[in-house]
With several copies, the nearest count.
Chain A
């Protein structure tokens, strides 16, 4: 990727735009770029949205135990959440459990975390998988931790709105249950995306380029957001922003 910024900065800046003007963004386990994006959105919004960052002492208001995140989502009080998957398929099903036969898997991931619930009840779920390959973006997941869409009679107030990778951004259409290419990141091509994507997706006649972060955004990211991210993701903050917390 070209430009005077890192991939992670491009992605975080773009996700901050996707978050939009909402009240509450929650970020779960092992999500450094979403955490960066949420904190950037808050830095821009001067305190709005509320950001709940799992593992943070500063960016969390929860005082009722770990269940409060899920209760809050059940109350309709979480607007944006992020999920990933060891595999993600063309219907936006996500697999956080295993590859191969469930009882004798060839690969095992940590587990489904809150996905089997939050994917259904958070209005804007942003799927996130930096590694964009036929290994990760598959025709059909081996295990459905949570489905991308549900039958009309199934209670579902939320679901995926898009999938962001290191090559491009897909939007998800809940009615057709299909992804549609929304933009290519600078330096990436349509052919490359097709080559590395295991599922079929729709595409517009002309594919735009993902907007690069402007100088003000990069400054916010590096000066204001980086130290906050470092609280929960010290290795990420050191690697991406060169930020190391004072001992």
Chain B
């Protein structure tokens, strides 16, 4: 059965997994993220397509992340991401800095089964200088034209939140096609959804246009308001008051622990 409990659905995310997650606008599985922290997941190689906000910061603060690969982590208008900033300065995580289209390109390379994808830009940047795994070749179709090649990123698991899924595991993602890239690139994909849709999403051509086929999906778990306190586009806005509270509490280690206690661990009883 593809529809599972949240905890069962998350079993595929093992310690040390390469876990790929989307940007805030695409639908972040925050309820699942809290469940992972409660379970004590560790040593994640977190890939955020192409940026992250609260999700990365919370996982880092909880000690769940060994390596982070993304283009930026912040709390947007609420300022820097406190756990991320502290971890980088303390050297407790390995940071693989990228630029947005490089993360897209590397995941699209995995999606297409090609070993690498070229990308313009990057030449002369320290992003490139700090990435020995990125190669520069002379464009075979040009002359003295250096171009960067990015190796494919193949996540073990992709995890995200979407408006709805059906019993076949088809997931309606609408315009959030980053979620399709993630699912195609990853070995396994776990999705939380606001609600279950009666019938088959692929039967209606209008809904099908925004549907990620169940073929790619390992498990779906029901998680109403599962992106909270982050927004779910076209469904609910961010809970900015809560995010401001997080920004304030996470500024100190003690405050972060209290946040975990109040907003992550307390849910264990729920």
Contacts and interface: CB of A to CB of B under 8 A. Distances in A.
Contacts of B114: 74
A29 B80 CA distance: 13
A64 B26 CA distance: 12
Interface in A103-146: 103-121, 143-146
B238 to A, nearest CB: 10
Interface in A73-129: 73-77, 96-98, 102-121
A72 B113 CA distance: 8
10 closest A-B pairs (Cβ-Cβ)?
Answer: A74-B113, A116-B99, A111-B72, A65-B177, A110-B74, A117-B121, A61-B213, A70-B101, A110-B72, A120-B121
12 contacts: A29-B72, A64-B177, A74-B112, A97-B97, A104-B89, A111-B70, A111-B74, A112-B127, A117-B102, A145-B125, A153-B144, A155-B123
Interface stretch (B204-212, B222-230, B255-263): B204-212
Q: Chain A interface residue count: which class?
A: 35 or more
B76 to A, nearest CB: 7
Contact of B72 (A65, A96, A103, A105): A96
Nearest to B80: A110
Most buried by B among A114, A117, A121, A154: A117
Given A112-B97, A145-B126, A63 B121 contact: no
A50 interface: yes
B175 interface: yes
Contact of A116 (B84, B125, B145): B125
Nearest to A116: B99
A121 B71 contact: no
B178 interface: yes
A86 to B, nearest CB: 11
B122 interface: yes
A151 B51 CA distance: 29
Interface in B122-174: 122-130, 144-147, 170
Contacts of A103: 91
B146 A117 contact: no
Interface in B101-115: 101-102, 104, 108, 110-114
Given A50-B215, A67-B101, A73 B113 contact: yes
Interface of A: 24, 29-30, 50, 54-55, 57, 61-67, 69-77, 96-98, 102-121, 143-147, 150-151, 153-155, 233-236
B50 interface: yes
Contacts of A145: 99, 125-127
Interface string B22-58: 0101100000000000000000000001110000000
Contact of A75 (B91, B100, B104, B184): B184
A102 B123 contact: no
A66 B104 contact: yes
Contacts of A96: 72
A10 B86 CA distance: 36
A189 B121 CA distance: 37
B233 interface: yes
Contacts of A105: 88-89
A102 to B, nearest CB: 6
A117 B99 contact: yes
